[in-house]
Amino acid sequence: MNATAAPEISVVIPVYNEEEGLPFLFERLYPALDALGRTYEVVFVDDGSHDRSVAELRTQFERRPDVTRVVVLARNAGQHLAILAAFQQTRGRYVITLDADLQNPPEEIARIVATMDAGADYVGTVRVRRQDVLWRKAASRFLNRLREGTTSIHISDQGCMLRGYDRSVIDAVNRCSEVSTYVPALAYTFARHPVEIEVAHAERTVGQSKYSLFRLIRLNFDLMTGFSVAPLQFFSMSGIVIALLSIAFVVYLAIRRLIVGPEAEGLFTLFGIAFFLIGVALIGLGVVGEYVGRIYEQVRQRPRYTVAAVLEQDSDETRRLPQLPAASLPAPRAPAEPVRGAVE
């Protein structure tokens, strides 16, 4: 493929400590893309890996420099910011995201491309016969329903990153400057013809999942606070209801005191009600804090990520950046490959 010509398809793959699984990914990904019979590029983005993932990516770049590009971040920015960093580098008409763990087969990319050829500008996917552990399935179902109830984002399976985006959607996403976001939901807001299809799902064979239960909860906080004010409205309405109930309860106690007289009974009930109201107030304060925290992160205007290096064909210069340890990124061979530094 001519490096100066824009490919039809860009495949974006975030990588974080996937040294063991990358060779298996390369074995299946490139034949699947070659079988499409269309021009393509694969944009890997290393999200601050601590193992030899960068070295593996460098080796693969040397094998297929015509269709491979590697973006190396200086430090871990998180999966979705890493994907946004790769989006800035993509050139294809269709951009497809894929995890590096092979739980979503690369062979499914052909179905996404066919769906986009049919007119969709956003292709979401739903995993059939999920091979995750039970707690992940239950947590995902609960958080999916919670997100659907608090936002206008209609995504059946938010945990599946195998998705397709038209260039118009990618350009709109690239114009955004949000610090905390969820890429599929952000892209969904710009799509005119979103479509969902079912895809196969496999069990992870090497490495470990990077998403713990805590990170799943944090992700849904980003979803709820980044795309809806429903949590704030919920606590506003709850405050009104609780205030009205409190007034009614005070009136009831006043009448009871006039009829029955002073009483010491029910003291622990009052304590229980007070602690409940304090708990509700603290939860509401926490929700407000989530929004304030997002505002604080945004107004600081710090770079969302730092690109330490970009490996691609046909560049005028090659230079070693201090952020990359020699063990992770071997010295370049002749002819020189490009390395560019950038901050976003």
Give 278's pLDDT tier (boundaries 50, 70, 90): confident
Question: Does the structure show a pLDDT above 80 at 199?
Answer: yes
The answer to whether residue 18 sits within a structural domain is yes
Residues 6+ apart with CB under 8 A from 176: 186
Decide the pairing of beta strands 9-15 and 40-46: parallel
Take residue 3 and report the two structure tokens written for it: 């490096």
Predicted pLDDT of residue 233: 75
Predicted pLDDT of residue 181: 82
In this structure, the answer to whether residues 23 and 49 fall within a common structural domain is yes
Question: Can you tell me the mean pLDDT for 49-55?
Answer: 92
In this structure, the answer to whether residues 244 and 197 fall within a common structural domain is no
Question: Does the structure show a pLDDT above 50 at 332?
Answer: no
Question: Can you tell me the mean pLDDT for 40-55?
Answer: 94
In this structure, the answer to whether residues 115 and 264 fall within a common structural domain is no
Take residue 31 and report the two structure tokens written for it: 């034949």
Take residue 321 and report the two structure tokens written for it: 């950046």
Q: Which of 5-9, 36-40, 268-272 has the weakest average pLDDT?
A: 268-272
Predicted pLDDT of residue 318: 39
The answer to whether residue 223 sits within a structural domain is no
Compute the distance between CA of residue 330 and CA of residue 233 in angstroms, rounded to an integer.
53
Domain that holds residue 241: 230-299
Q: Which CATH number belongs to the domain containing residue 198 in this structure?
A: 3.90.550.10
Alpha carbon of 148 to those of 82, 123, 143, 289: distances in Å?
A: 25, 18, 8, 22
| % of the chain at pLDDT higher than 90 | 39
The answer to whether residue 331 sits within a structural domain is yes
- Residue indicated by tokens 């974080």: 16
The answer to whether residue 225 sits within a structural domain is no
Element (H, E) at 10: strand 9-15
Predicted pLDDT of residue 63: 94
Question: Does the structure show a pLDDT above 80 at 306?
Answer: yes
Question: Can you tell me the mean pLDDT for 95-112?
Answer: 93
Predicted pLDDT of residue 170: 96
Q: Is the pTM for the entire model greater than 0.85?
A: no
Question: Does the structure show a pLDDT above 50 at 323?
Answer: no
In this structure, the answer to whether residues 194 and 172 fall within a common structural domain is yes
How confident is the prediction for the chain on average, in pLDDT?
A: 80
Predicted pLDDT of residue 314: 66
Residues 6+ apart with CB under 8 A from 182: 80, 158, 219, 222, 223, 226, 227
Question: Can you tell me the mean pLDDT for 162-180?
Answer: 92
Q: Could you tell me which residue, 107 or 234, shows the higher pLDDT? A: 107
Predicted pLDDT of residue 302: 81
In this structure, the answer to whether residues 174 and 271 fall within a common structural domain is no
Question: Does the structure show a pLDDT above 60 at 338?
Answer: no
The answer to whether residue 56 sits within a structural domain is yes
In this structure, the answer to whether residues 316 and 188 fall within a common structural domain is yes
Question: Does the structure show a pLDDT above 90 at 118?
Answer: yes
| % of the chain at pLDDT higher than 70 | 76
Alpha carbon of 55 to those of 27, 48, 72, 121, 182: distances in Å?
A: 17, 12, 11, 35, 28
In this structure, the answer to whether residues 295 and 307 fall within a common structural domain is no
In this structure, the answer to whether residues 150 and 29 fall within a common structural domain is yes
Number of domains composing the chain: 2
Q: 43, 90 in Cβ contact below 8 A?
A: yes
> DSSP string covering 114-171, please?
HHHHTT-SEEEEEESS--S-HHHHHHHHHHHHHHHHHSS---S-TT---EEEEHHHHH
